[in-house]
Every structure is written in C-alpha cells, then in structure tokens.
Amino acid sequence: MGLNAYNGRLELDGGVMDYIRFGSGKRILVMLPGVGDGFKTVRGTALPFALGYRKLAKDFTVYMFSRREPLPEHCTTREMAADLGRALDALGLERICLLGVSQGGMIAQWTAIDQPRRVEKLVLTVSAARPNDTMRQTLENWMALARKGDYRSIMVDNAVRSYSDKAVGLQKRVYGTLGRLTRPKSFDRFLTQAEACLNHDAWEELPRISCPTLVIGGTEDKIVTLRGSEELAERIPGAELKVCEGLSHALYEEEKDFLDQVAAFCLK
C-alpha cells in the first residue's frame, strides 16, 4: 500500500502553518493534535505518522495540521479554527471528516459550529466543552513549569496523567528522558495554546453542531476527565459516546481498535 507521505507548509496571513498528508483514499480525514503542538509542530513527521496510522491510508487521504507560526498572543481556539478554515480553503478541501484530540477537539468544535457545510463527520477525543477543575489545575501547573523552563517536569506529569496504570511506568521514563534531552527554544507558543484551552467555552453553541458526532473518552482521564467527554456528548444533538474503560488521556494510543472505530464512524 502506497502511503504517499508528504510534509507541507502553507503561507497564512503573514505566518506559516505546517501540515502533513498521507494515504490515497477518496474520503478526507483531517486530524488536529493537542496542546503538545505548542512544543513541536508536525513539521517533518509525515512518514512516522503515515506508518503509525497506515490502516487509514486505503480509505482516507489524511491531513494533520499544526497551529500557525508565529501564533498571535492570546489567540483563542475559535481563532485557531478560523486559521484551519483558511488552510483548508488553500488546499481546496471543501468536505472533511474531522478528528480532534484534546485541544484539537476544542478547535474541531468551533470548526463544526462556524463552518457547518465543511464538516461531514466529527470525532472529538478526550476533549471538553469548557475547562473543569481538573483541566484547569493541570494546565495552570504546566504553565507555571513552562515559565520556569522546566520542560522535563511537564513531560513527566503529562505521562503520569495520560497513560493507564499498566503503561505509565514505561511512558514516565520515556517522557522524562525526552524532557531532559529535548527542550523547546521558547515556551511562548505552548503558553498561548494552554491559555486558549483555559479560555475555551463552546458550551452555549454546541447545540448548533449538526453533523454526526462521535465522542470518545476514558474512564481514568486525568486531564479533561470522563465527565468532560460526557458533557460534549450530552450537549451535541445526536452525538454518540464511546467510553474506554481503564484508559486515560492517551487512549488514542492505548485503545487497540481506536483507529478502527474512527474509520468505521467516518465511513458509515
């Protein structure tokens, strides 16, 4: 199977937006990553992602977009969705299936609300309509660590909160090593994205989402909590809720049939 992996970059209103593309299917699947995009964009990652998500390559042409660079100070999730719309216009992508993870799910919410004719199917994974106490405490802690330049502690805490009990030991070591060996030149981009999460509130407008929607959450999610996912499913008309037992925020890595679930929903 040809993966057709491609690394792209768009000029966007005085800045740039990195994206990757792979697959050869007729359906367009757009993926939006979480707040970790504030540390590293998708630039140069087309082949690793194509290999990791290769089971999607037959039925879909898959795109993954980073936020723009530079990211304006105090940029909101709704403004990030508007940026995404401009990028999709530039690539001629009129109808898409949209998968948002964590903060990517927040941007996806606004995309479905403000660009309803574009979004055919919507998948919101470990996301929330608005901050809850757990999410606020987590992000405020990460932001405090970022202001001190303590990247390793952010990575370790992210691993502890993101993975199931059976996986957290290994991931804590891996993330700790990465946090020690790889450090962003600046934390400004991450701080802007984290602030956008804290200010995200689509609660009143979620009932405007009209496309079929699948919400996926984990019972042990220590970042947005299962309740964050449940609220999305309750608020969006006709939304389906899939609960992954025993999994946390990184369920998209640990749930063996996650990609199968996404593909089945988008293809039906």
Return the HEC string of 189-255. Answer: HHHHHHHHHHHCCCHHHHHHCCCCEEEEEECCCCCCHHHHHHHHHHHCCCCEEEEECCCCCCHHHHC
Q: Which two tokens stand for residue 98?
A: 């949209």
CA 266 – CA 22 distance, rounded (Å): 17
At 180, the pLDDT band (50, 70, 90 cuts) reads confident
Query: What confidence score (pLDDT) does residue 178 get?
Result: 67
What predicted TM-score, i.e. pTM, was given to this entire model?
0.96
> Is it the case that residue 79 has pLDDT exceeding 90?
yes
Q: Domain map of the chain by residue range?
A: 6-130+202-267
Fold (CATH) for 6-130+202-267: Rossmann fold (3.40.50)
Q: What percent of the chain has pLDDT over 70?
A: 99
Q: Mean pLDDT of all residues in the chain?
A: 95
pLDDT at 1: 53
Q: What is the pLDDT of residue 168?
A: 86
* Interior/surface letters 183-197, b for 16+ CB within 10 angstroms, e for the rest: eeeebebbbbbbbbb
pLDDT exceeds cutoff 70 at 181: no
The Cβ of residue 118 has, within 10 Å, a number of other Cβ atoms equal to 19
Helix, strand, coil percentages (3-state) for the chain, rounded to 5, are 45, 20, 35
